[in-house]
Structure formats: C-alpha cells, structure tokens
C-alpha cells in the first residue's frame, strides 16, 4: 500500500518504516505535509548521496510519529516528526567522509554526525534534515556528550 516512489531510488515505505513501531503496534503513517517533506529529503539529500557514492542503501529512520519518536527517547522538536529528517549510513564508507561530502556539496538544514568516535570510522550514523525555504547549513558532530561544529 505504500509503494509510492519519492525519487528514483527511494520509496515512501523506506522512509516510514520503523521496526520499533511494528514491535509496539504503533501506527507510523505520515500526513500529506510530511510526505511532501519526505519527498524533498529524498530528492535533495538521499538521491544525490546515492548517485555520488553509487551505493544502494536503506535509511535507518525517516518519518516518526510523535508516539514512536517519544518511545525512542527523542525530543518533540525532532525534525523526524515532520518528515524533514533522515538517518542513514553507507556500507564501507566512513561516516565522517559521508558527512563531509554532504556538508561540502548539498543544501541542507541540519547535518549531525551522531554518536561518532574518531577512532572508529564506522561508529554512529548521519542525521540530515532538509526543509522548504531557509535551510541553515548547520553541521555538527555529537560524540554522545557534546555537540561541536565541523
Ligand atoms: Zn535523526
């Protein structure tokens, strides 16, 4: 039922899938506005990454209903709730390299290299948001304790 293609390589189903929601029997269906935001994310962030690195990947978390987001312990201000943020990583590509490329080449709102440890290239994941209008181009590294710009 959710086979809607948002961009050449990404579907609505991939950007709304939540194993946590399934496990807890919580609905995770975006409203039309959130679908529009997810479409922008797929076209402006995910698709350019997919093409540049030439690697298929499935985002680990896109849209989250408020209930799912709270169950995860994330703040109510999270852009995942509006469908403006997505978490992902690419097989065999260090997350810092991926984040640097996004920072240097794409228009985005907020880019966070989450739970990243410099001594472990595969640690953490990339969180990236995009919104219509004023994107902040804010890039941060979060080591689990503090945020710093990079
Ligand atoms: Zn995120």
| Cβ–Cβ < 8 Å for 21, 68 | yes
Give the number of other Cβ atoms within 10 Å of residue 5's Cβ.
Answer: 12
Q: Which residue has the tokens 């189903």?
A: 13
Helix (H, G, I), strand (E, B) or coil at 125: strand
| Cβ–Cβ < 8 Å for 53, 93 | yes
Give the number of other Cβ atoms within 10 Å of residue 65's Cβ.
Answer: 20
CATH 3.20.20.140 fits 5-149, yes or no: no
Distance, CA 56 to ligand 1 centroid (Å)?
19
Q: pLDDT in tens for each of the 150 residues of the chain?
A: 447 999 999 999 999 999 999 999 999 999 999 999 999 999 999 999 999 999 999 999 999 999 999 999 999 999 999 999 999 999 999 999 999 999 999 999 999 999 999 999 999 999 999 999 899 999 999 999 999 999
Distance, CA 127 to ligand 1 centroid (Å)?
4
Distance, CA 138 to ligand 1 centroid (Å)?
14
> Model pTM?
0.95
Which pLDDT belongs to residue 70? 96
Burial 107-141 (b: 16+ CB within 10 A, else e): ebbbbbbbebeeeeeebbbbbbbbbeeeeeeebbb
| Cβ–Cβ < 8 Å for 138, 109 | yes
| Cβ–Cβ < 8 Å for 26, 15 | no
Distance, CA 86 to ligand 1 centroid (Å)?
5
Distance, CA 80 to ligand 1 centroid (Å)?
6
**Would you state the structure tokens that stand for residue 121, as one six-digit string?**
């290239």
Which pLDDT belongs to residue 106? 98
Which pLDDT belongs to residue 3? 78
Residues with CB under 5 A from ligand 1 (ion): 87, 127
Distance, CA 41 to ligand 1 centroid (Å)?
12
Distance, CA 4 to ligand 1 centroid (Å)?
22
């Amino acid at each position: 039922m959710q086979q809607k293609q948002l961009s050449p390589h990404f579907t609505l189903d991939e950007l709304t899938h939540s194993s946590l929601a399934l496990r807890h029997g919580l609905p995770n269906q975006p409203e039309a506005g959130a679908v529009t935001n997810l479409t922008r994310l797929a076209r402006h962030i995910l698709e350019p990454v997919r093409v540049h690195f030439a690697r298929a990947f499935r985002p680990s978390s896109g849209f989250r209903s408020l209930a799912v987001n709270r169950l995860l312990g994330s703040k109510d201000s999270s852009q995942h709730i509006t469908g403006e943020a997505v978490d992902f990583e690419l097989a065999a590509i260090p997350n810092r390299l991926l984040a640097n490329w996004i920072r240097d080449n794409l228009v985005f709102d907020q880019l966070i290299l989450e739970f990243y440890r410099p001594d472990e290239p595969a640690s953490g994941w990339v969180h990236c948001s995009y919104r219509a209008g004023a994107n902040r181009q804010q890039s941060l590294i979060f080591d689990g304790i503090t945020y710093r710009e990079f």
